[in-house]
Structure 1
Amino acid sequence: MLDNRKLRILYAIINSYILSAEPIGSRTITKQYDLGVSSATIRNEMSDLEELGYLNKPYSSSGRVPSDKAYRLYVDEILKNKKYNIDLGKKNQIKKILISESREIEQLLQNSAKVLSAITSYTALAISPSLNGAKIKHIQLIPIDEMQLLMVLISDTGAVKNSIFRLNKAIPEEQVNTISNYLNHRLKGLSIDEIGEELSDGIMREIYEYKATIDKIIPIINQSMEDIDNVDLYSDGITKILNFPEYKDLEKAKSFISFIEDKDLVLDLLLNNPVSQDIEIIIGNENIYDSIKDCSLITTTYKLGDKTLGKIGIIGPTRMDYLNLINILQLFSVNITEIIDMVMGKHISR
C-alpha cells in the first residue's frame, strides 16, 4: 500500500504523461504541481515507485512513465470512488445526434460507434445484443409492387429485420394482409427452434391456396431470426491509432489495425470479458492478445429494462485520460439504453 505522498506523486506523473506522452522527470512534477516537497524528495520517491513496479524508465531517458500496475491503481481509485458524473448538457446533445438516424438497434449501434470515435479520437467498438432465444413479436408483409414484398420482422427484444423478396406470381394486397395475419397467429411468441415444429402439421385449409408464398417466406423468417440471435460487431475510427505517438512504428500500427479488423478476435475479447460492473477496463498486459498489450480497452453496457443487451467501448494506447473517457462512455450507456427503451419499445409493444 502506497502512502499518501507516493500516491500524489504517482498520480501527478500519470496525469502529466497522459498529456505529454513524454517521460516525466522530477523537475516537471515540481513545476506543474505544488506537492509541498522538494525536487530531490520527488526524485527519491520516483525511484521507490520504480522499484515497486509503478514506474518504468525508458531506455536512454532520465524520466519515467507509468506502468500498467500504476494505471490499474489509478483506474481502480476512479471506479471505487465513482469520480465520474453525467453532464446533462452533453448527454442531451449526444442523444439528439444518436436518435436522429436510429430506427433500429443496428443503426443505433453503428451511429454510436461513429459518434463515440469522433468525440474521443479513439477507435470505438460496439456489439449488438446477444439475443439467443429471441421470439417473434410481429410480422408485417408490405407490397412494394406487384411482384415484390417487404417483410418486417420484430422480435420480443426490439430487434427489427427487413427483407425484400420476389413472388412467383402477383397476389392482391388483401391476400398479403391475410398471409400476414396468419403468420402472426401461428408464429407469434416462437423462437427459431419452434417455428418448424409449429408448422410441421401443415398449413391450415383456409390459407392453403397461399402455400407457395408462405413456403417462400418461412426460410426468410428463419434467416432473420438467426441474424437476430447472432452477435454482430460495429467499429469506427480504426486508423485513428496512427495519430498517437506510441504508434508511429508502422508495423506496430498495422498489427493493431489487423487485430481490430478481425471480427472473431474482437468479439472474443469483448464477450469473454465478464460484466461485473457498469464500466470495465482492461489495461495493457491484462489483454490476452499480443497485438494490443500496449492498449487499454474501456467498455460499458447498454440495456433493455433490466436486461444487459450488449457493450460499447473504446480501445487505444494505455496513456488515456481515463476519467474523461469513463464519463463519456457513461453518457453513451445511458443514452443508448434510453433510446432502446423509447424507440425500440414502440416495436415491442405492438
Structure 2
Amino acid sequence: MKLNPRHRQILWATVKRYIDTAEPVGSKILAEAYRFDLSSASIRNAMNALEQAGLLFQPHTSAGRIPSDSGYRVYVDELLAPSEDLVQQMREAVLQELGEELHRTLESFLERAARLLSMLTGCVALITAPTGVLTSIRHLRLVPVSEGHVLLIVVTDNLQTRSLLLDLPAEVSEDELEPINNFLNTHLSNRTLKDFASDQSEPLWQEFRAWAEFLRSLVEVIREEILAPTVGQVFVSGLSTVLRQPEFTQPQRLWEMVSLLEQERLNLGALILKDGAGQRVTVRIGSENPFTPMHSCSLVSRTFAYQGVTLGSVGVLGPTRLPYDRAIASVQATAEHLSSSVFL
C-alpha cells in the first residue's frame, strides 16, 4: 500500500499515542488528542485502510488499534523525523554523567555507561567490550598448497594459530613467496588491529610494486579475518526497569526476557556488534529479531570505534512499543562518547 499524506499522518499519530499510553487507539481519541482537521469517520476510514495494509491491528473485537511490526517499521523508516535537538540533549546527558575521558577501569566505565543508557531509555542496555583488539602478530607465513593457492598461517602473541586458504594471483609465483614472507614479517610483526586501522605503510608497497595489490589484500585479510575482535564481556543494565512495562506483566513474557538475558547474553552481544557495523544505528523490530523471545521486542544498536577499529557495541532492548526517537538518539550519543573516550 502506498501511503498518502492522510494515511501517514494517522499512522504516525496512532504509533505515537500507543507508545505513550500502551492503550489501543481509537479514531475518537486521535481526533481529540491531535486536533486533526478530519472527522472521526474520516480517521476511522484511514485506520481501516491501514489495518487492511497490515500496519495496524485490533488486539480484540471492539478495541482500538495498535501498530503491527510492519507499522512500527514504516514509522521508524519513514515517519520518524530525526531530531538533532534530542541527539544533542542525549550527548549532554552522557557527557555530564560519564565525563570527558575514561576514568578508573574500562569495566567500571562501561558499567556506568550501561546504567546511564538504561536510565535514558527505560530499556535494557547492553554494551559489549570485544576481546582481541590488542592481539598482535608474532609470526606469519605463506605456504604453497596447490597450484594457484597458498595457506596463510598467522601466530599471534598469545600463541594462537589461525590459517586461511587464499588464491595466489597469477602475477605472483611460488618462488617469490619467500621474499614476500620476509617482507611481511619485517613490517607486520608486533602490530595490532589498532595499528592496522591507521596503516601508514603505503610507501612500503612501492618496494614491491609488482606485488602491491596482493600485499594490500593480505593486509585486509589479516585485519578482517585474523585480528577481527570477538565479543568479550557484555554489560547489561535495566532489566528490572523494562520488566515494569505492561508487556511483561504476563509471567511467560517475563520469564522469556530473563531467560534471554541469562542464556543468550553473548549471542546478543554478537548480534549488536554485527548490526551496528558501519557506524550507523540499526533497529530490529519484533519478528526481525533472530531469537523467539525477542519477537515482542525491538533492538536498537550501534558500534563504537577508535581510528576505524571497532571496539564494542551499544544497544537497547525493550518492547516494540518503545520510544524509538529517544532510543536511537541515546544509542547514537552513547556510541559517539565511547568512541572518543575508550582508548584500548
Alpha-carbon spacing, 1:78–1:235, altered in 2? closer, same or farther (3 Å): farther
Task: Judge conservation of contact 1:279–1:326 (CA < 8 Å) in 2.
Answer: yes
How does 1:150-299 map onto structure 2 within 5 Å?
189=190, 231-262=232-263, 263-273=265-275, 275-299=277-301
Q: Distance in 2 between matches of 1:281 and 1:4?
A: 24
Distance 1:5 1:103 in 2: 54
Determine the structure 2 residue equivalent to 1:97.
97
- Determine the C-alpha separation between the residues in 2 that align with 1:267 and 1:273: 10
Q: CA RMSD in A?
A: 2.7
Structure 2: distance between partners of 1:229 and 1:247: 32
Is residue 324 of structure 2 the alignment partner of residue 322 of structure 1?
yes
* Larger CA deviation: 35-44 vs 95-104: 95-104
User: Displacement, 1:230?
Assistant: 5.3
Distance in 1 between the 2:300 and 2:38 partners? 34
Q: Tell me which residue corresponds to 1:112.
A: 113
- Look up the equivalent residue of 2:40 and give its one-letter code: S
Q: Which amino acid aligns with 2:304?
A: Y
One-letter amino acid of the structure 1 residue matched with residue 245 of structure 2: F
| Cα distance change on mapping 1:52 and 1:305 into 2, 3 Å | same
Query: Is the Cα–Cα contact under 8 Å of residues 275 and 302 in structure 2 kept in the other structure?
Result: no
Indicate conservation of the 8 Å contact 2:302/2:314, yes or no.
Answer: yes
Question: How far 1:268 sits from its partner (Å)?
Answer: 4.1
- Identical counterparts, % of pairs: 31
Structure 2 length-normalised TM:
0.67
Q: Offset at 1:133?
A: 6.3
Give the CA deviation at 1:85. Answer: 4.4
Which secondary structure state, in structure 2, belongs to the residue aligned with residue 134 of structure 1?
coil
Report the CA distance between 1:275 and its aligned residue.
2.4
**Deviation at residue 102 of structure 1 after TM alignment:** 3.2
Alignment partners' CA distance in 2, 1:2 and 1:89: 32
How far does the alpha carbon of each residue in 1:313-342 deviate from its partner, in whole angstroms, 9 at most, with x for none? 1101000111122112222122111212xx
Q: Is the 8 A contact 2:126 2:314 kept in 1?
A: yes
Partner of 2:340: 338
Moved more, 251-260 or 92-101: 92-101
SS in 2 for 1:234: strand
- Residues 96 and 286 of structure 1, relative CA distance in 2, 3 Å threshold: same
3-state SS in 2 of match to 1:261:
helix
1:321 counterpart letter in structure 2: P
Quote the offset at 1:240 in angstroms. 2.1
| CA distance in 1: counterparts of 2:232 and 2:312, whole angstroms | 9
The answer to whether the 8 A contact 1:98-1:111 is kept is yes
Label 1:94 to 1:48 Cα distance change in 2 as closer, same or farther (>3 A).
same
Change (3 A) 1:128 1:6: same
Following superposition, the deviation at residue 83 of structure 1 comes to 3.9
For residues 160-200 of structure 1, the C-alpha deviation after alignment (integer angstroms, 9 at most, x for no partner) is xxxxxxxxxxxxxxxxxxxxxxxxxxxx9367xxxxxxxxx
Which SS does the other structure have where 1:330 is aligned? helix
- Return the alpha-carbon distance in structure 2 between the equivalents of residues 276 and 87 of structure 1: 19
Structure 2 CA distance for partners of 1:291 and 1:71, relative to 1, 3 Å? same
CA contact (8 A) 1:132 1:230 kept: no
Q: Alpha-carbon deviation of 1:117?
A: 1.1
Instruction: Identify the residue that residue 42 of structure 1 maps to in structure 2.
Output: 43
Task: Give secondary structure in 2 for the equivalent of 1:5.
Answer: helix
Distance (Å, rounded) in 2 between the aligned partners of 1:125 and 1:87: 19
Aligned mates of 2:87, 2:128 — CA distance in 1:
25
| Contact in 1 for aligned 2:288/2:295 (Cα 8 Å) | yes
Tell me what 2:32 maps to. 31
Cα 1:64–1:128 change in 2 (3 A) is same
Amino acid at match of 2:314: I
Aligned to 1:54: 55
Deviations 1:64-110 (A, max 9, x none): 0001101101111267x644446546524422422487333332221
- Describe the SS at the equivalent of 1:128: strand
Alignment partner, residue 11 of structure 2: 10
Inter-partner Cα distance in structure 1 for 2:305 and 2:82: 20
Cα 1:281–1:97 change in 2 (3 A) is same
Q: Which moved more, 1:316-325 or 1:329-338?
A: 329-338
Residues 261-302 of structure 1, C-alpha deviation per residue, up to 9 Å, x if partnerless? 122332343244362551000000101111110000001221
The answer to whether the Cα contact below 8 Å between 1:23 and 1:63 also exists between their aligned partners in 2 is yes
Distance in 2, Cα, partners of 1:256 & 1:55: 25
Question: What residue ranges of structure 2 are gaps of 5+ in the alignment?
Answer: 138-188, 193-226
TM-score under structure 1 length normalisation: 0.66
Q: After alignment, is 284-293 or 321-330 more displaced?
A: 321-330
Is the 8 Å Cα contact of residues 56 and 71 (structure 2) preserved in structure 1? yes
Structure 1 residue 6 displacement after superposition: 0.3
Q: Which residue number in structure 2 is paired with residue 70 of structure 1?
A: 71
Q: Distance in 1 between matches of 2:244 and 2:276?
A: 30
Q: Structure 1 residues 43, 125: CA separation in 2 closer, same or farther (over 3 Å shift)?
A: same
SS in 1 for 2:232: coil
The Cα shift of 1:122 comes to 1.1
